[in-house]
Structure 1
């Protein structure tokens, strides 16, 4: 992919409203890169497999099996390891990579039509509002707010050379991974090993134990509200006790998300998603990333199992020890899907691409559907399903995603929320029907 200067586009200086904004239109179907849709479809399905535990059990159970309200036996422990190796962090990483690519792709179209980066900024602001509604009214596991905020930091970097974006992204990710590893390893050592028995660390250990107890107590309050079907009480509790969490958690995600967005942006410009790379190399590095990254994840998972899936060993595994193997797997999976997806032309593959084209609707729609599945005012299954049973919910929801997306897009230009986001981005109503 050529640089901005090579495209004939005119970058703005982030200093004023769009020029020629009346000519701006969203990316059309004919302009889409199918590999992006396929990867996005896999990611939106996979992210449900990652999130299902936090949908159907207390939030701490996402990492900490002992927080399950149902039995978590040996089979479920191995499923924890399987999910940790294959899914957790990888689907979010793919989404983030594609979001970075999408930031640049969007700006290419805007620049070609005489627009400026203010259009992108406004688009991200609208996404941020979607994220806040998602967080406060639907589910606290929202990622849209973080993507929007971090997108504000990435937009000024879009004029960098692609090589600069790639190098800064990789270095930033590695430094962030080392920072996470150091901090989480320290917490694990203090709480789960004899090191924490030293007098100078006793106070820190006690604070960490209190933090764990506080998190589990908070889960208990939320569990009761969900099981009672007190939706108004749940929203009020979230607004009163957790209103600052989206801001606080920015620090947790920043050193992963911003670098991955920059890497995704650079890979798009290099033609990675368009098949510009050597096929043999894509297959070699793709499989190398998946196999080596997967083996490292497995080693971490087995270590956590030997540690008894303690609270801080699982936290360290997710946040501190897995980022570098995660990067290997994310890039490896992306390479393999770019390489193989053109050959996957079956009806199922076409439905996956359709799910990817409607990924925004599928992501938020899944959260809304889970309200009806788990909250007490509807089916009331919160805290009632074991890990294997939760995966049955995942498969049924996948089937629903694949069933509706393709027929809808055969009749309409965009998914419902994709259409709404476009209309709000451009300040005009676009035709929805084909």
Structure 2
């Protein structure tokens, strides 16, 4: 897998072994938060749990519909777009053909997603990879402001035409891609009041959209009101966390969420490997035991937190992240610290 170093655009040796750019702790923390929420969403469909009895939504399912379902995958999607954008910027400093590396990175993600889908048919990695190949690669030649407009337009069109869900992913990926190219992630530590304004607007939007969603609880997740509420709450969760990271709580929140976020791909896949046997042991398949489901999700997250902290104290990346990087650059990368 090893190849000779290429000559970069500036005439220097372009290599994957060059010192990586500083990690953005805020992004890792928000990614960790999204990972936590997505696990609570994924367990019921994988375990085929019942959410409605006699045309009444069960309390546990109702809570998830209001505050979790469709509320964390937009964050995850946006962050994947940001990650691809940051990768393209970084690869452009080290390799003469960064888009080739991005294409390879997306193809590897697609392969991982196909394998993951054998256990979790509704998994997100495959559509991220496909939409990345279809939209992000061509748009990498477009002006970053064009990317921003197209991303916002794609999100709006998906809400109007489909009410959210899977059609939101292309717009969110392009929007995140544009934000990365505009330098927004690097500026997060300096953005105070703008994040506060976004948080206030998101909370106000959710306060309007949630009562509308409540008028038809059996259709939660399938209508425009639910999609708008989901985007508003996703924005409120992410921006609210960014505000908390500017307080003395940064130490605690960072210690919990950043390790999970730094190993998001590994933790996303291994959560499925854990929840299937443990869910059967807990008797979740076909049940309505949402309390047991919540305990299982919390237990898996605690296990992954301990595992992530232990691993990252010894290694630079999670195992899947490392493999992903090795194949992307087509050479074995250093792993141990």
TM-score (norm 2): 0.87
| 2:312 is the alignment partner of 1:412 | no
Determine the C-alpha separation between the residues in 1 that align with 2:294 and 2:269.
19
Q: Which runs of 4+ in 1 moved over 6 A?
A: 71-74
For 2:283 and 2:87, how far apart are their aligned partners in 1?
41
Distance 1:78 1:29, change over 3 A: farther
**Compared with structure 1, are the counterparts of its residues 408 and 414 closer, same or farther at alpha carbon in structure 2 (3 Å cutoff)?**
same
Report deviation, 1:82: 2.5
Aligned residue in 2 for 1:279: 192
**Following TM superposition, by how much is the alpha carbon of 1:275 offset from its aligned partner in structure 2, in angstroms?**
3.2
The partner residue of 2:105 within 114, 117, 123 is: 123
Q: Name the counterpart of 1:267.
A: 179
User: Partners of 1:114 and 1:334 in 2: how far apart?
Assistant: 33
Greater fraction of residues in helix: 1
Counterpart in 2 of 1:402? 305
Take 1:27 and 1:379, find their aligned partners in 2: how far apart are those partners?
Answer: 47
Per the alignment, do residues 411 and 315 of structure 1 end up closer, same or farther by CA in structure 2, a change over 3 Å counting? closer
Decide whether the 8 Å contact of 2:101 with 2:328 is kept in 1. Answer: yes
User: Aligned equivalents of 2:141 and 2:241: distance in 1?
Assistant: 28
Task: Please say if residues 6 and 14 of structure 2, whose CA atoms lie closer than 8 Å, have aligned partners that are also in contact.
Answer: no
Distance 1:33 1:281 in 2: 18
Residues 165 and 175 (structure 1 numbering): CA distance in 2 closer, same or farther, change over 3 Å? Answer: same
Over the aligned positions, Cα root-mean-square deviation in angstroms equals 2.7
* Secondary structure of the corresponding residue to residue 69 of structure 2: coil
The offset of 1:139, in angstroms, is 1.5
Question: How many correspondences in the alignment?
Answer: 325
Distance 1:400 1:379, change over 3 A: same
Distance 1:410 1:72, change over 3 A: farther
Q: Which moved more, 1:332-341 or 1:404-413?
A: 332-341
**328, 333, 337: which one aligns with 1:430:** 333
- Using the TM superposition, name which of 102-111 and 385-394 deviates more: 385-394
| Structure 1 gap ranges (5+) | 1-17, 185-251
Match of 2:43 in 1: 52
Structure 2 alignment gaps of length 5 or more? none
In structure 2, what is the equivalent of residue 247 of structure 1?
none
Aligned with residue 291 of structure 2, among 382, 388, 406: 388
Instruction: Determine helix, strand or coil for the equivalent of 2:72.
Output: helix
